[in-house]
Structure 1
């Protein structure tokens, strides 16, 4: 009798990525949820910001999509509260007359925004682009964790690890979003060199995200607040009026 070849065990199916949707319009929630499930995503839906915040912190999805205009806690308030404890990737849904809110949302730490009405294809493309970036960050962190040597870059009291997206100041960790980290990295890689707002936008955003260059000013203010939370005397990010920003820690 001929022995049958041993079968390899069935490979584990890839983990299904989860997208949380937060919108008080149930019709939009239903339509977007069905569309994303058809593309292979798991979805969770929430009709108000307060309920969503608790769920997003207790059981984080891979990405969240917020409508800006909601009762009780709108999308901007939800993002502000979320960013105090989480760097979860976030996309905003906005209306055509909400440009100031779009810029504010990006400055507060949103990863992207999409203007309504939008196509399902565009939404899925944006979601996958952000998830690829997040997966790359996680993969780099996992790779770095298996290496004996680290890739930490030291600039005076600043230390940052590009592979792990980790930052510390004077030995104290500073929690940054991916966008904030990319701005710090762009500045600190070449201390003393002035970076224009457009150069920092290029470093921090995908090519298909169009934001006002003044958004960088808001990011810089948030970065200074975060660093000053661990060192009240922090002044390493300098403003050169009319030119841009530079990093120095002499």
Structure 2
């Protein structure tokens, strides 16, 4: 039997923290709660959570600093919660190690679905590293100057490695699977995040922006009102 997974919920609004914790507990997770930056680090060290739901605006020190400190200790998936919708704030969160984000106000149902999606992504990454099928050759996708090693989940462009979050990697692989083909946001949302509706398309947009920042602005083409396509470059 798989060990119960533990989630750390960090939010300085007790009502939100309690509601999120109750829903995740109902979904079968063990949940710890912290209300500020210092206590978040204490709970992280004591509870060794498998995933962190982390508000950006916290007393003590903010969620971005918590995320930096967490990732310096141990790589853990982080779902950021932010009351700000500015593009720069979202990209900073992804840059310090967050894997996904939700902008307040959000539905508890959507948050739970995002947590499930993050765990599915982590599980897929672990399976690919586990070597359960040694007879199958490692799949390496080479598109112009872009190289994606799907077995080791490594990416390089022009020979320079890039560190991607698990969801960023899965998004890139889906785009690379059909180069030059425009994939609608709704399709990417369903395939990568496991969402069957279009409520999270801004999440797709922000992760594409993160990929461009890490791999080059010319790599992914936007088709306004439709979606994105990966461009093959020499």
Q: So what's the TM-score if we normalise by structure 1?
A: 0.64
CA distance in structure 2 between the aligned counterparts of 1:38 and 1:201, rounded to whole angstroms: 25
Shift of the 184–15 alpha-carbon distance from structure 1 to 2, 3 Å rule, reads same
Residue 100 of structure 1: which of 66, 75, 85 is its match?
85
CA distance in structure 2 between the aligned counterparts of 1:180 and 1:193, rounded to whole angstroms: 18
Is the aligned partner of 1:149 residue 2:137? yes
Q: Which moved more, 1:66-75 or 1:37-46?
A: 37-46
Q: Residue 191 of structure 1 contacts residue 247 of structure 1 at CA under 8 Å; is this kept in 2?
A: yes
What corresponds to 2:49 in structure 1?
61
Q: 1:176, CA displacement in angstroms?
A: 0.9
What corresponds to 2:209 in structure 1?
221
Q: So what's the TM-score if we normalise by structure 2?
A: 0.67
CA distance in structure 1 between the aligned counterparts of 2:42 and 2:142, rounded to whole angstroms: 37
> Number of aligned pairs?
227
CA distance in structure 2 between the aligned counterparts of 1:43 and 1:76, rounded to whole angstroms: 21
Shift of the 132–224 alpha-carbon distance from structure 1 to 2, 3 Å rule, reads closer
What corresponds to 1:246 in structure 2?
230
Q: Residue 102 of structure 1 contacts residue 113 of structure 1 at CA under 8 Å; is this kept in 2?
A: no
What is the RMSD of the two structures over their aligned residues, measured on CA atoms? 4.3
**Structure 1 residues not aligned, in runs of 5+:** 1-12, 228-233
Is the aligned partner of 1:211 residue 2:200? yes
What corresponds to 1:237 in structure 2?
219
Max Rg structure? 1
Residue 174 of structure 1: which of 158, 162, 181 is its match?
162
Shift of the 27–219 alpha-carbon distance from structure 1 to 2, 3 Å rule, reads closer
Q: 1:51, CA displacement in angstroms?
A: 5.2
What corresponds to 2:126 in structure 1?
138
What corresponds to 1:8 in structure 2?
none
